[in-house]
Structures are given as C-alpha cells and as structure tokens.
Amino acid sequence: MARPFDVVALESKWQQRWRDSGLYEVDNDDPRERFYALCMYPYPSGAAHQGHVRNYTFGDLVVRYQTMRGKAVLSPFGFDSFGLPAENAAIKAGSHPRLFTDQRIEELRASVQKLGAVYDWRREVRSHDPEYIKYSQLIFLKFFEAGLAYRANAPVNWCPGCATVLANEQVNADGTCDRSGDLVERKNLEQWFFKITAYADELLNEVDGLEWPDRVKTMQRNWIGRSEGAEFALQVDGQPDLAIRVFTTRPDTGFGVTYAVVAPEHPLLDQLTTAEQRDGVDELVTRARGASELERTASSDSGIGLDKRGAFTGSYVINPFNGDKLPVYVADYVLGTYGTGAIMAVPAEDERDYAFAQVHNLPLVRTVAPPADFEGGAYSGDGVKINSGFLDGLSISEAKKQATAFLGERAAGEAKVNFRLRDWLVSRQRFWGCPIPIVYCDGCGIVPVPAEQLPVVAPDDVSMDKSGQSPLATHEGFRSTTCPTCGGAARREADTMDTFTDSSWYFLRYTDPFTPGVPFDPSAAAKWMPVDQYIGGIEHAILHLLYARFYMKALVDVGLAPGLPREPFRRLFTQGMIRMGGSKMSKSKGNLVAPQQYYESVGADGLRLFHLFVGPPNDDFDWTEQTNDVIDGCARFIDRLWRLAELEEVTWRDEADATDLAVRRAVHKTIVRVTDGFEKWGYNTGVAALMELLNTLSKWARDAHGAHRATFDEAIDTMCLLLAPMAPHVSAELWAKRHGDDQLVHAQSWPTADPSLVVDDTVTMVIQIAGKVKARLEVAADISEADATAAALAEPSIAALLNGAAPSRVIARPPKLVNIVP
RNA sequence: GCCCGGAUGGCGGAAUGGCAGACGCAGGGGACUCAAAAUCCCCCGGCCGCAAGGUCGUGUGGGUUCAAGUCCCACUCCGGGCACCA
C-alpha cells in the first residue's frame, strides 16, 4: 500500500538510533526504581515468525512503557541454543550442529531487530556458549554435592535398528521409530536425576502467592499432584517374611478391600507368583513391558480387554482390618512409578477396581452407604460408614483418622503424603546439549570434574552420521580422560543435560553476565530478581516454569544465590497462540506467515499495532484471509495520524473555545483509557481509544470552524507519547519532527491526565420505564438524586407515557440513569 | 472420565449489574478523478414502518433483580490441559 512516508528508511533509521543511544542499556548500579521485563528466550529456529512477533511486541511495549514511567528496565535477550532440531539438521547434512545454530541465531536476531524491539544486547545469553556451559556445569556440580543430583536406573525409548535412544517426540503413535520404522523398546539405563521431589511441598504451596494466570497455577498444582492417605503393609499368607506395602487415600475403606494388585514392575512380583500362575503372569508382564506404553496409558475402555490386563499371582495377603484372605493380582492399571506400586482394591468405592472386579468375578463390599437413588457401581461420594466394624457410623473423614491410627498399631502403617511429581530425569543421550561434568573411574567411581577444569565442551571434530547416535559416546578423544582424584585412566560421562536445565537459570545470568568467575554475582542479581513481568507461551505452563522454580530454590539452598527470592517470576503473562487452518502456526506444520513482507509494506509499526489491536493478548488468534485487511487497517491509522500531524487540510482559529475544551477532555480521557489498558493487558482497547481520538481530532481540526494551535499541539504530542510503546518508529519520527531531531519521544515521561479534564460538566442521563430506555436528558454531572428524579418525571415524553399514573417506584442512579417502575 | 476456558452482527472484537454491538475489517452508497488507486463523507443486527417510531435480539431452558451479555441453577456445543495417580 502507498504510504505517506518511506517506511523502510524511517524504521531502519530509528532502529539504528536506539542502538546508538543506549537508552535501553541499563547498568546494575542504575539509581532508578528497577523493573525486570522478560520474554521467554527463544529456540533459534531461523527468522522470527508471527508467534515471536506477538511475544516481543508485548514485551517491548512493557519495556518502553515502564521506561517512560521513569524506571530502569532490564530488557535482555538470548537464545535457547541447544536442542534436537539442530542436531537432526546436522545429521541430515552430515555436519556440526553449531553451524546451523549460529546461522539461525543471526537470522532470528536480525528479524527481531527489524521489529524495533529494544534490548540490552551486552547481556545476551546463548546456552551453547562455553561460558554459559561452564556455569551450567558448575550448577550441576553444586547440585551433586548437595545430593540434589543422583544416578538411578530409568527406562528409555530404545531403537534396536538405530542402536540409539529416542526422545518421546521421535516415537510414532504406533510405537515405531521415526527414522527406521523399527519397533521401539523400553530399556533401562543408568541416568542422572535432579531431586525436584524434595521441593514438592514448597513448589505446591508457593503457587498460591504468584500473580500468574489461574489456568497455569491449576496446571502446576495438578502436575505436582499431592494426595494425602496412608501407607501400610499387607502380610502375605504363608510367607511370614513377605509383605506388600500399599498406599491408599481411603484408609477408611479397609473393610471393603477384596483383593490386592501389584504393578507389573513390582520388585516382589516374582516371589508372589506361584508355579501354576507363572505363565499367565509372564504373559501379562511381557505385554506391559513391551512397546505398549501408549497402549497402557490409553483409557481403560479402549484397546485390550480388562481380562487380558490382569492376572492372578497365586498368592494371598491378609487384610489387617478383618483378617480376610485376599487374592493378589498383577495388573497394568497399577503403576510402578506411583505410590508403592501396589494397591488395596476396593471395588465398591473405586471405579477402576470395580471394573476390574467385574471382569475377574471378585466380590464387592460396600463400606459407605450410597444415597437411596444411587444406581452406579462404585460409589466414591460422601456418606456414613457401614460394614466396617469399629468404623461403622462414622463420617469418611473421621474414619480415615481412626483407620490410619489402627494401621499404625497393626500393620506398620502411617499417614503418608504422595506426589504425582517425579524426579527430573536430566540425562539425554544426545550430542547437542550441555555435557554432564562427571568422569567414571574404576578405582574412585563417580568423580565430579573439578570446577577449575570447566567447561567440559564437546569436541569440534565430529560429524553427525545417519545412525543418530551421539558422537560423544564414541569419540575417544573426548571419552577417555584421567581421573581428577587418582590420576588413573577414566571415562567421561557421554550424556548431556536436558535443555530445560539451560532455560532454568538464564534469567539469572542476564542480571549479571559481567562478573568473572561466577554464574552471576548474587548481590547484582538481587537488584533485579524476581522478574517483574515474564511473558511467554502457554505451552510452557508446566515444565519450564516448574523447573525454573525448582532451580531458583535449589540455587539459593546450595549457596549460589544467597539472599535471592525463592520464586523467580512474580508476574506471568501467557500470550495466546496464533493458529492457522485450525492448528498452531509453526515451522513444523509449514503454515508460517513470515513477518518480513510486512516490514516492507505496513512496517514493523503496522504489524505491531495489528497484534496489539486484534484481540485480547491472552486469547488465541486465528489467522485468516481477512487478516491482511486488518493489518492494512492498522497501517491506515498510522497514515491518518501522520497526515494530520503534517497539518494536511487543517485550518486554524486564533482563540480557544468550547470545541477546544471538548477536544482536551477527549485527549485526557484517552490518556486514562490507554494507561488502564497497559496496566490490565487491554492493549486492544487501548489501540481502539487512540483510533477514536484520532477520529475526533480529524473531524475537529478539518472542520471550517478550525482548531486552536495549542490544543492541537497538546493532542498530537499526547498521541505520540501514548503510541510510543506500541508503534515506536512513527511516534519517534513525529516527535522529532515536532520538537527537534535530537529529541527522543521514548525518553519522555509517560503523560498523566488532568483530573479536571477527565470528568464532564454535563452527561446524558437515560430515563427508563420498566427497564426500557424511553428518553435521554442532558443533565449536570453532579445532579442530585431528587433533581434527577424530578427532571425525569417532568420530561414531556415520559409524562405522556405515564399518563398521570403515579409510579410505584423510582430508582435514580444520578447522573447516568433513572428507572421508573409503573 | 476429571479439571480449566469460551459461546455477542457477515468477521475480529467492545461493554465497574445501568443506553448491547465501541474500535476495526468486509459490504453498500456518495464526493474527488477522463478513469482507476489512494483519500474524504454517509449507511451498515433481525422484523414492521414512507417516516417518526415500534418490536425482537448476546448458545439453550429456568431463576435472582427496579434493571442481566454480566450474578445463580441446569443443559448444549466448541477449545485446551491432564488422563488408569490408588
């Protein structure tokens, strides 16, 4: 579209000036009030897409707005530069992942700069920088020292064809390998874990105090999944040395237990299985252990029948409540990873137990009286205890307490809290990640690499081949080393860390990448932390945000971050996704709309304004055929403002009059509306308010009646100031044209509204009869209730409608409304 | 299955319990122009009406209230998250 100015030249000129001015480079000793604004650092996948544009438009708005409010705003940028896509690209091309990564970082950096977003680039973080690797490894070692990092066996997806480990994303829905098509197996490997469960309670409790979207808080709570109950022993009949420990949230249902179930992975399963039952049990275990993880986690009413999903072990246990002999089954609906991997089954009060009991003809004993009209199978609602010996007549909550106490005396039981949250498996059998700084020595065992030898970096002389196996595992120069303790021959750990470890502390590195020898100086970090406003996609609602919270707490506890707050992100805003044709816009789906074409037509300002205007920032947005028209409309608004500021068709009047007062009121009301919008994520209504003001100004200044110069100047200056965080280039240019080339609109103070200009002298009062609007009346803004009522009743059209009848009631809400009830 | 969201013109959306549809897009009409583009002006939920005006209208059905898009109850549909968590 034809523009009244050269948009490309104008925008690149200002981007250059912002870089030169240093306006957004803040030092750690800046005396102003602090504000830490942060967008989630991106994975560098090449030039920015609309999701980035949306994210950084919101972020940049916050940065520029808070700066104009007089704050020192920390606005850093960086790249989450380790990860699988670069590794896969390198495998395909037979080259090194760094080549792709560095190139894509430059592409993304350039396109982000073209958006006009401003950052303090001195603080840039790239996860694959040796400096960053060094401190990521130092943190690992501190966690190891503190007992927060440990080794254990854990299953991985193993492709026999490729002889390598696969990420979950590389396993197809039917359980085959993405690359070779072979059936993927579960295989146990010794791997590293972070003990996030040690913080389960704190992670759960501190969710409450965060200014985060409720949706995200709920997701975090559910993910942590705390449940209270009891754990106790079920003695195996005839084997005095053998007992199965079970966990239940319903100890009150103890008299209703009619069987017990262990998970296929249960360590005692072998001992429990009798010779006669061996075949059935083995068959079940084999199937559960196979590639059928997906099958197993599918809902119970799909896939394989329940009869095939459980088998009798041949053993019995004794119910401690009533001495009954209970058959022990193995079934895949019990998970080895949760609780004790074994349960007491209560078909009358648990739906899964009920379904299983039906198929296997197991008895049912109700221990809670269901309501009279209850027709279902399992009843898990409230009620009075029945068939439960000493618990009869009690409420469920009281029965839980007494049953737990009973178990304590009779079955080595105790109250127990369980979490759904598992420890964080951080080992990745990948090349393009941060190496785990550990060596294995035959004599000394697991030996941490001494801090002064960090970073441990991957060698450059590798090429990724089609096998997909990490070259770290086979590169002798990397793997063979000497033991730091005894000096003997040793092997380096070949695994790298999950890339979520990098994104768990980058926001701390931003605060102080300057002090040598430490990841960050705690006193410098303390000046900025916690992040005042974190902005990112909802897709990170659980993992990234949970891991970063864990890191923050652990870093404080291991002594790397003394004095820092234990929660990293005070306020979180999650932006909506951009969808196209029903699915999320993404590179992998191939439905990207590149921003570049818009930089050349409507400019970054036009595109930014569109993202701000199109709807509430936290809502998803559908990119359709109509979208380009809306973007053009946003550029049209900029052009109209430009032409008005350039005085096109404006006529002047010497003296100010009532029309000027009205315009000034509109200007000051707009200040309030835009400011409110900025504070409450109402950017769309903020843009609308500016559009309305422009309509008002244009009509007024171009009318034959004319505009008073001072009023006009105040209005245009205010528009520039209010627009500065949204459309920074054009507002900067207009400001410079009006005030001199050395004047920066973004260095000005945010405008404040004159309270006397925000309220009107007179307002339109609505007169209703029975809630329906029948008349309107111009009244003084401070009209009294009595005067409003009198004026309403005196209005001729109202009097005519009432026809002399006295109203039964009159509700007056001066000065806006009077409702007459006949 | 459970837990969150959401449903308003042709479309995106606006509306501290107080004039539903701000603002924009699309559409229609007009001005300017030889013409087109751009720009500017006007109209734009349905129905009745020449008009003034009337009447219905915020997914469905109830309710609370002088007054409900907004609050409460029940439901329908759509989107998302978790999904055998004992």
CA of A788 to C1' of B16 (A): 22
Q: Is the pLDDT of residue A284 over 50?
A: yes
CA of A818 to C1' of B66 (A): 10
CA of A231 to C1' of B47 (A): 69
- Mean pLDDT, chain A, rounded, equals 89
CA of A491 to C1' of B84 (A): 42
Burial (CB < 10 A; 0-12, 13-18, 19+), residue A753, is middle
Query: Which among A502, A506, A476 is positioned nearest to A491, based on CA atoms?
Result: A476
DSSP bridge pairs for A819: A768, A811
CA of A631 to C1' of B41 (A): 23
Q: Would you state the structure tokens that stand for residue A434, as one six-digit string?
A: 């941060």
At A315-367, the pLDDT tens digits run 999 999 999 999 999 998 888 888 899 999 999 998 889 888 988 899 999 99
Query: Which among A4, A149, A167 is positioned nearest to A84, based on CA atoms?
Result: A167
If DSSP codes are grouped into helix, strand and coil, which group holds residue A244? strand
| Region A300-304 average pLDDT | 43
CA of A189 to C1' of B70 (A): 57
Q: Is the pLDDT of residue A516 over 50?
A: yes
Q: CA A265 → CA A231, A270, A276, A337, A341, distances in Å? A: 19, 10, 20, 9, 8
Q: State residue A427 phi and psi, 5-degree precision.
A: -75, 135
Q: State residue A239 phi and psi, 5-degree precision.
A: -130, 85
Contact A190, A151 (CB under 8 A): yes
Nucleotide lying nearest to A776, CA to C1' measure: B19
Burial (CB < 10 A; 0-12, 13-18, 19+), residue A204, is middle
Contact A153, A186 (CB under 8 A): no
Q: CA A568 → CA A127, A144, A211, A502, A623, distances in Å? A: 19, 22, 12, 15, 34
Residue A620: its pLDDT value, please? 87
**Residue at shortest CA–C1' distance from B39:** A640
Q: CA A783 → CA A482, A780, A793, A807, distances in Å? A: 89, 5, 15, 21
Tell if A797 CB is < 7 Å from nucleic strand B: no
At A437-447, the pLDDT tens digits run 999 999 999 99
Which residues of A in 215-234 have their CB below 7 Å from strand B's atoms?
215, 218-219, 222-223, 225, 227, 229
| Region A454-461 average pLDDT | 91
CA of A768 to C1' of B24 (A): 31
The CA distance from A813 to A355, in Å, is 61
Instruction: Give the CA diameter of chain A.
Output: 109
DSSP bridge pairs for A534: A38, A572
Contact A558, A143 (CB under 8 A): yes
CA of A626 to C1' of B33 (A): 29
Which residues of A in 412-471 have their CB below 7 Å from strand B's atoms?
418, 420
Q: Would you state the structure tokens that stand for residue A295, as one six-digit string?
A: 């099958």
Q: Would you state the structure tokens that stand for residue A462, as one six-digit string?
A: 């590798």
The CA distance from A795 to A97, in Å, is 80
At A148-193, the pLDDT tens digits run 999 988 877 777 776 677 666 666 656 676 667 777 777 778 889 9
B strand bases under 7 Å from protein CB: 3-5, 10-15, 18-20, 22-26, 37-41, 54-55, 66-68, 79-86
Distance of CA A276 to the CA centre of its chain: 52
At A732-742, the pLDDT tens digits run 999 999 999 99
User: Where does the pLDDT of residue A587 fall: very low under 50, low under 70, confident under 90, or very high at 90 and above?
Assistant: low
Tell if A629 CB is < 7 Å from nucleic strand B: yes
Burial (CB < 10 A; 0-12, 13-18, 19+), residue A477, is exposed
Nucleotide lying nearest to A543, CA to C1' measure: B81
Tell if A630 CB is < 7 Å from nucleic strand B: yes
Q: Would you state the structure tokens that stand for residue A437, as one six-digit string?
A: 């700084």
Which residues of A in 772-791 have their CB below 7 Å from strand B's atoms?
772-774, 776
DSSP string, A769-813: ETTEEEEEEEEETT--HHHHHHHHHH-HHHHHHHTTPPPSEEEEE
Nucleotide lying nearest to A627, CA to C1' measure: B25
Query: Which among A261, A222, A248, A204 is positioned nearest to A396, based on CA atoms?
Result: A248
At A32-66, the pLDDT tens digits run 999 999 999 999 988 888 989 999 999 999 999 99
Q: CA A249 → CA A124, A526, A689, distances in Å? A: 49, 42, 54
The CA distance from A522 to A505, in Å, is 13
H or E stretch at A705: none
Tell if A212 CB is < 7 Å from nucleic strand B: no
At A677-698, the pLDDT tens digits run 999 999 999 999 999 999 999 9
The dihedral through the CA atoms of A448, A453, A455, A459 has a sign that is negative
Q: How many CB atoms lie within 10 A of CB A197?
A: 16
Q: How many CB atoms lie within 10 A of CB A392?
A: 13
Nucleotide lying nearest to A813, CA to C1' measure: B18
CA of A637 to C1' of B31 (A): 21
Tell if A821 CB is < 7 Å from nucleic strand B: yes
Q: CA A293 → CA A186, A280, A290, A304, A538, distances in Å? A: 9, 20, 7, 13, 27
Residues 6+ apart with CB under 8 A from A625: none
Most confident of A205-214, A376-385, A750-759: A750-759
H or E stretch at A39: strand A34-39
DSSP bridge pairs for A417: A228
Which of A640-671 are b and which e, b meaning 16 or more Cβ less than 10 Å from the residue's Cβ? bbbebbeeeebeebeeeeebbeebbbbbbbbb
If DSSP codes are grouped into helix, strand and coil, which group holds residue A512? coil
**Residue at shortest CA–C1' distance from B4:** A215
Q: Is the pLDDT of residue A301 over 70?
A: no
Tell if A691 CB is < 7 Å from nucleic strand B: yes
Strands A809-813 and A772-780: unpaired
| Region A368-393 average pLDDT | 85
The dihedral through the CA atoms of A315, A319, A325, A331 has a sign that is negative
CA of A584 to C1' of B76 (A): 27
Contact A213, A618 (CB under 8 A): yes
DSSP string, A307-353: GGGEEEEEEEEE-TTT--EEEEEEETTS-TTSTTSEEEE-TTT-HHH
Which residues of A in 242-261 have their CB below 7 Å from strand B's atoms?
247-250
Contact A210, A569 (CB under 8 A): yes
Tell if A294 CB is < 7 Å from nucleic strand B: no
Q: Would you state the structure tokens that stand for residue A567, as one six-digit string?
A: 């929660």
Residue A178: its pLDDT value, please? 67
Q: Is the pLDDT of residue A761 over 80?
A: yes
User: Where does the pLDDT of residue A294 fall: very low under 50, low under 70, confident under 90, or very high at 90 and above?
Assistant: very low
Q: Is the pLDDT of residue A305 over 60?
A: no
Residue A163: its pLDDT value, please? 67
DSSP string, A263-285: -TT-TTHHHH--GGGHHHHHHHH
CA of A686 to C1' of B15 (A): 14
Query: Which among A604, A683, A546, A576 is positioned nearest to A61, based on CA atoms?
Result: A683
Which residues of A in 303-322 have their CB below 7 Å from strand B's atoms?
309
Which residues of A in 565-624 have their CB below 7 Å from strand B's atoms?
613-616, 619-622, 624
At A463-487, the pLDDT tens digits run 776 666 778 888 889 999 999 999 9
Residue A470: its pLDDT value, please? 78
Residue A467: its pLDDT value, please? 65
Q: Which residue has the higher pLDDT, A717 or A815?
A: A717
| Half-sphere exposure for A584 (CA within 13 Å, toward CB) | 10
Can you tell me which residue has the tokens 């037509």? A601
The CA distance from A104 to A45, in Å, is 6
Tell if A339 CB is < 7 Å from nucleic strand B: yes
Q: Hey, what amino acid is at A331?
A: A
Which of A792-819 are b and which e, b meaning 16 or more Cβ less than 10 Å from the residue's Cβ? bbebeebeeebeeeebeebebebbeebb
Contact A572, A564 (CB under 8 A): no
Nucleotide lying nearest to A797, CA to C1' measure: B53
CA of A4 to C1' of B37 (A): 14
Tell if A811 CB is < 7 Å from nucleic strand B: yes
The CA distance from A652 to A640, in Å, is 19
| Region A21-31 average pLDDT | 93
If DSSP codes are grouped into helix, strand and coil, which group holds residue A424? strand
Residue A292: its pLDDT value, please? 47
Q: Would you state the structure tokens that stand for residue A212, as one six-digit string?
A: 């985060």
At A220-277, the pLDDT tens digits run 888 888 888 999 999 999 999 999 999 999 999 999 999 999 998 899 999 999 999 9
The CA distance from A728 to A725, in Å, is 6
Percent with pLDDT over 70 in chain A: 93
Tell if A800 CB is < 7 Å from nucleic strand B: no
Distance of CA A593 to the CA centre of its chain: 24
Q: Is the pLDDT of residue A289 over 80?
A: no
What is the interface pTM, i.e. ipTM, of the complex? 0.94
Please write down the HEC assignment for all residues of A170-218.
HECCCCEECCCCCECEEEEEEEEEECHHHHHHHHHHCCCCCECCHHHHH
Tell if A542 CB is < 7 Å from nucleic strand B: yes
DSSP bridge pairs for A152: A191
CA of A689 to C1' of B66 (A): 33
Nucleotide lying nearest to A774, CA to C1' measure: B19
CA of A743 to C1' of B14 (A): 36
Can you tell me which residue has the tokens 């003809």? A361
The CA distance from A668 to A663, in Å, is 9
Residues 6+ apart with CB under 8 A from A75: A24, A26, A37, A59, A60, A63, A118, A119, A120
CA of A613 to C1' of B64 (A): 37
User: Where does the pLDDT of residue A539 fall: very low under 50, low under 70, confident under 90, or very high at 90 and above?
Assistant: confident
